[in-house]
Amino acid sequence: MTLKSFKPYTKSTRGTILVDKSELWKGKPYKPLTSVNNSSKGRNNAGRITSRNHGGGHKQKYRHIDFYRKKFKMKAEVERVEYDPNRSCYIMLVKFEDGQKFYYLAPQNIKIGDKIENGPNVEIKTGNCLPLQDIPVGINIHNVELQPGAGGKIARSAGTSVTISGIDGNYSLIKMASGEVRKIDSRSLATIGVLSNPDQKNIKIGKAGRSRWLGRRPHTRGVVKNPVDHPHGGGEGKSAGGRHPVSPTGQSAKGLKTRDNKRTDKFIIRRRKKRG
């Protein structure tokens, strides 16, 4: 996939850079694997807004992705590679020899007609899914399970992958993109390859309207609010806030650690790199 730039016919096209999707499937998604996707607009189950500036956006159908990859001992053929509005990477529709179809995350360089397989002792090939104990050290992998049988949780966004940096007894040492090294049970499944659409990070939206299509609403700065609404609010005339930047609830915006899961601390060998 390549990036598309546009002639500056308007102010928005002058700065717009998008990903060329001409090689993707142009029809509708596979209907049995889709469902209605009602937007929550940033609200929780009580109807209160817990994630601000969400709402609107284009109507979408949810594609049911199989993150578990539990159909073993049978080959599948890649029927098509599709755009998915619910995630940054592309997805592929695969058909197994018994006629059953699934949506999987699509790795880079996967093509229509390629054969893939799940299970132990399968070939080390892009798109194949197998336990960590069967994957050599240094191979790029994605959709990695944290617990055997729990479904892929790590490395699921566009252009991402992790690598196995070593073995420690019954555990594999996984090096994340953030620099964190973590122990994961070697029976957990992972898929070979780097995920598709690596140019997602180079997109330039170009205009406010495209953000609204994605469900992002306008964001109001804290310093222009009243003190009752934000810690940075108030002051006579234009003010710079008068304190270190914080969220509306007073939480530091300078990299405050909020992780509170001591139960899994023992699996982290090396913490992620510090920001900035």
**φ, ψ for residue 119 (rounded to 5)?**
125, 170
In angstroms, the CA 190 to CA 75 distance is: 17
In the 8-state DSSP scheme, what is residue 225? Answer: S
Go through the domains of the chain in sequence order and give each one's CATH number. Answer: 22-41+55-200 (2.30.30.30)
Which structure tokens are listed for 71? 């159909």
Strand, coil or helix: 70? coil
Amino acid at 129: C
Q: Is the pTM of this model over 0.85?
A: yes
pLDDT of residue 1: 65
Identify the H or E element spanning 236.
Answer: none
Q: What is the DSSP letter of 246?
A: B
pLDDT tens for the 276 residues of the chain, in order: 689 999 999 999 999 999 999 999 999 999 999 999 998 999 999 999 999 999 999 999 999 999 999 999 899 999 999 999 999 999 999 999 999 999 999 999 999 999 999 999 899 999 999 999 999 999 999 999 999 999 999 999 999 999 999 999 899 999 999 999 999 999 999 999 999 999 999 999 999 999 999 999 999 999 999 999 999 999 988 888 788 999 999 999 998 888 899 999 999 999 887 765
Distance CA 161, CA 144 (A): 9
Positive/negative CA dihedral, 252, 253, 255, 261: positive
Amino acid at 246: V
Give dist(CA 195, CA 144) in Å, integer.
12
pLDDT attached to residue 274: 72
